[in-house]
Structure 1
Amino acid sequence: MATNNTYTQLYIHFVFAVKFRASLISEKWDERLRLYMTAIVQNNGHKMIAINNMPDHVHLLIGLNPKQAIADLMRVLKSDSSEWVNKENLTAGKFQWQDGYGAFSHSKSEVDRVVKYILNQKKHHNEKTFLTEYRQLLKRFDIPYDEQYIFKLPE
């Protein structure tokens, strides 16, 4: 992406969960959610490369435009999409995303592998839970974490 003689190639894999990891994302409307989230990403100047979800979490691979900070994109994406779910009355109660997210950078040579990984979420989750998957991502990227902040359950 070129802007005023600035050239970047930034691929970021995002992962975030429904609040308390509740399985609220239904197959009846998850495609609409993915389309809505894709529009948000694109309207903010980024490129959606892959998006998929399970009932309790979402994975996205984005070609990131450096004009917007990752934290700002995630704030907009999560707030606007949860507001949309609630306005559409897609869940029985209030829909919210869990605080926080994972953001993992990849090289161009890894894009095809990450896309396949994202698109094959159902297969992966036949073999491991979301928390196991998330911890493995954090360890693979050598990201220190505190277990008490990994997608808290209701107290």
Structure 2
Amino acid sequence: MLVPKYRRKVFTGVMLTRVESIFSELMSKWEGSLVEFNGEADHLHLLIQYNPQTQLSKLINNLKTVSSRYLRKEFPDQVNKYYSKKVFWTGGYFIASCGGVTVEQLKEYVQSQDRPD
């Protein structure tokens, strides 16, 4: 789960579609895949498959850095409504492994998020 700085309700439906595209492309470069993606105006849920040799902190940092750069460039009016400085994401993130539940159950949970229009 990734959260924008101050958990501001910055994401629109169009922005979420773009973030999904960015993350999917980046995951391929990291020898992984974006299995499922969804979000609400103030947070994102990702279900990813990644190479076990991957350092998750570096992967997440790359996802956040690259997406922040693209979102600021492609949606300046929307981003600047919420942030006056060059920030976008919080410093942290939440990751959980999927032991104990099926991938299908996780997909259903991610799909159930109340995505903005």
TM-score range, shorter chain: 0.7 to 0.9
Greater gyration radius: 1
Question: 1:40: which partner in 2?
Answer: 26
Tell me which protein shows more strand as a share of its residues: 1
Question: When the two structures are superposed, what TM-score results if normalisation uses the length of structure 1?
Answer: 0.65
The alignment of Structure 1 onto Structure 2 pairs a total of residues equal to 109
Question: 1:111: which partner in 2?
Answer: 103
Question: 1:55: which partner in 2?
Answer: 41
Inter-partner Cα distance in structure 1 for 2:69 and 2:113: 25
Unaligned runs of 5+ in 2: none
Unaligned runs of 5+ in 1: 1-14, 124-155
Inter-partner Cα distance in structure 1 for 2:14 and 2:79: 14
Question: When the two structures are superposed, what TM-score results if normalisation uses the length of structure 2?
Answer: 0.84
C-alpha distance after superposition, 1:1-33 (max 9, x if no partner): xxxxxxxxxxxxxx0101000001112332122
Secondary structure of 2:44's partner? Answer: strand
RMSD between superposed Cα atoms in Å: 1.8
Q: Does 1:16 align with 2:2?
A: yes
C-alpha distance after superposition, 1:47-87 (max 9, x if no partner): 21101111111100111212220101000000110011011
Q: Which runs of 4+ in 1 moved over 6 A?
A: none
Percent of residue pairs bearing the same amino acid type: 24
Inter-partner Cα distance in structure 1 for 2:39 and 2:33: 18
